[in-house]
Chains A and B, each alone.
Chain A
Amino acid sequence: MNSREILKKTLNHQQPERLVVDFGGTAVTGIHCLAVKNLRAYYGLEDRPVKVVEPFQMLGEVDEELLDAMGIDVIGAYGKNNMFGFANNECGWKPFTSNWGQQLLVPDDFLYLKEPDGSLLIFPGGDVKVAPSARMPGTGYFFDAVIRQQPIDEENLNPEDNLEEFISIDNDTLDYWERTVKQLSLAGKGIIASLGGTALGDIALVPGMNLKNPKGIRDVAEWYMSTVMRPDYIHSIFEQQTELAIKNYAKIFDRIGNQIDAVFICGTDFGTQDSTFCSPEQFNELYLPYYRRINDWMHQHTEWKSFKHSCGAVETFMPLFIEAGFDIINPVQINAKGMDPRHLKNTYGKDLVFWGGGVDTQKMLSFGTPAEVKKQVIENCEIFARDGGFVFNTVHNVQANVPADNLAAMMEAVKEFNGI
């Protein structure tokens, strides 16, 4: 059985031959470029500049060599453009030295301005003539959005202004998906695709870092407030966004069929460290109907599984995620309130695939010892892997400061669990 077949069994809640592993399949299950460098060194791979496949979080490429060395089963189909709106695939690459001194490769349109304090400013669409849309602090390891909120005129707010980034997919992009998925499918790995357009109010996307002159509600705090203050406005956005996304997905499906196994639908975080960002009632009213429509369409027309990311203490939302039609939940933040692995598996394991939760990243992976990491990984695998329904990944991306020894201990534990 190849990786893809084992992933399929896993996603269908059948006991697979071994635990499947994802690193790099999505922008929420990836590895920071510095950690990629350290991993390559650990596995004795050539020390060469790492390609930045997702520049917002500075995620590094998990290439074929590293896939093989780490025993990874899943690869990601990423969109043509990145979050800043310029090409990050099928593009030219140029050298770039990061503030932490790492030699990297970035897309040709990765154009930036360095401020006196060392901060980097990056521009939407690679256009340096407009205001920058994101900033990386001089001592930071990735970017965050620069908020470009225009004054809000309450009487004249127009939902269309928040829909600028959602457009009908064109033939070039359809060709891109067809080429990309065909190429990726040759590897015999499972494929998760980030097709885009279905994230409902993801605050990483709300500021519109790919837009040169974003209009509407673009300030993160204002967006959160709008979910309560201006529900009609938000409903209107979600309604139109959902309708368009389903049309786009239908066109993509016509080109790629069931060559992909899962789709990253939405990264909107509903959890904080010990609570949620809204009440279950508000989730039911504002989000669930749209998620349900997207997921119903997918389940009726494709074999794709639906992947939902939400950080934080979302145990109380798990029944709602199931009702909304999600198949997969990520990152399974096991150290947040109520997110006990055994409880999650016993209560929701029949309905949800846990993609993540293999090891805590806030404390254990960054600050634990290799022995502690190994112990936690084995324990979590024993809990989550029963009867399938578990894709091994950390809780969110592997951060820049994770010691290579801890990553090695994590992968050794997975191999040990798999009897390798």
Chain B
Amino acid sequence: MEEILEKLAYCVEFGKINLASPYPPDMRGQDGADELTKKALEMGVPPTEVLNKGLVIGMGKVGVKFRENKVFVPQVLMSAKAMSFGMAHLKPFFNDGSVVRKGKIIIGTVEGDLHDIGKNLVAMMVEGSGWEVIDLGTDVNAGKFVAAVQANPGAVVCLSALLTTTMVNMEKIGKAVKEAVPGTIVAIGGAPVNQDFSNKIGMDVYAPDPQGLIDYLGNLN
């Protein structure tokens, strides 16, 4: 059991998505995260362990390497894709409540902005740290964020923006969310924003990178 979980974590860490995946080259023709997750569940490994001792471990390692500039965006995307293929097999267990995650975030790129590489990276890495992620996509207005928070009380709201023309929408959305559901934690991130801006518009958290948000969320539990 330990062996297959270690292998699964390795696949996520190094982006071996599935059998067809050509990377890493020395694993060509071997199972990836997709097949190993399925096999682990079939072997009777508890789904919680598949998540926490397989997928989360692999994603955690790549997150640290990303922060330390040992790997870069492509490798993180590959790891995240591997993880998502594994996650797909766990979905029934999330739905029936047999696997409980650490909490929930609602994430989206703010109104007027279609950029999503950074937002997706954060979403995938947070999911890979054991949180449930509700991704509202791009160009998301205040109403959609408010509706999502009302449907998911207690979720942390994460706003992303790449542009100087759209970062200003974070204030409007953050305030609408806090007004509609008092006590909601709102985090912001994206290239043009920083701690000063976060303070100025009254947000709770500024995360300069995905790991920063994961660390913050980890301290909430």
Contacts and interface: CB of A to CB of B under 8 A. Distances in A.
Contact of A399 (B78, B163, B191): B163
Interface stretch (A104-112, A239-247, A299-307, A358-366): A358-366
Contacts of A277: 72-74
Contacts of A362: 164, 191-192
A40 B114 CA distance: 29
Contacts of B208: 273-274
A138 B78 CA distance: 32
Given A144-B114, A154-B21, A401 B191 contact: no
Interface in A90-148: 119, 135, 137-141, 144
Contacts of A155: 20
A144 B115 contact: yes
Contacts of B168: 401
Given A361-B164, A362-B192, A139 B112 contact: yes
A56 to B, nearest CB: 12
A235 to B, nearest CB: 14
A325 to B, nearest CB: 24
B88 interface: no
B74 A225 contact: yes
A220 B164 contact: no
B147 interface: no
B15 interface: yes
Interface in A346-379: 361-363, 366-367
Contact of B73 (A135, A137, A224, A401): A224
Interface residues of A, number: 36
B166 interface: yes
A363 B197 CA distance: 10
B77 to A, nearest CB: 5
A141 B165 contact: yes
B117 interface: yes
Contacts of B115: 144
Contact of A275 (B22, B72, B111, B114): B72
Nearest to B121: A221
A399 B165 contact: yes
A229 interface: yes
B113 A278 contact: no
B184 interface: no
Contacts of A154: 20-22
B139 interface: yes
B120 A228 contact: no
A359 to B, nearest CB: 13
B95 interface: no
Q: 9 closest A-B pairs (Cβ-Cβ)? A: A144-B114, A139-B112, A229-B23, A137-B139, A140-B112, A362-B192, A366-B164, A224-B74, A228-B74
23 contacts: A137-B139, A139-B111, A140-B166, A141-B165, A154-B20, A154-B21, A154-B22, A224-B73, A224-B117, A228-B15, A228-B78, A229-B74, A229-B78, A272-B191, A274-B208, A275-B69, A275-B72, A276-B69, A277-B74, A282-B72, A362-B192, A363-B164, A401-B168
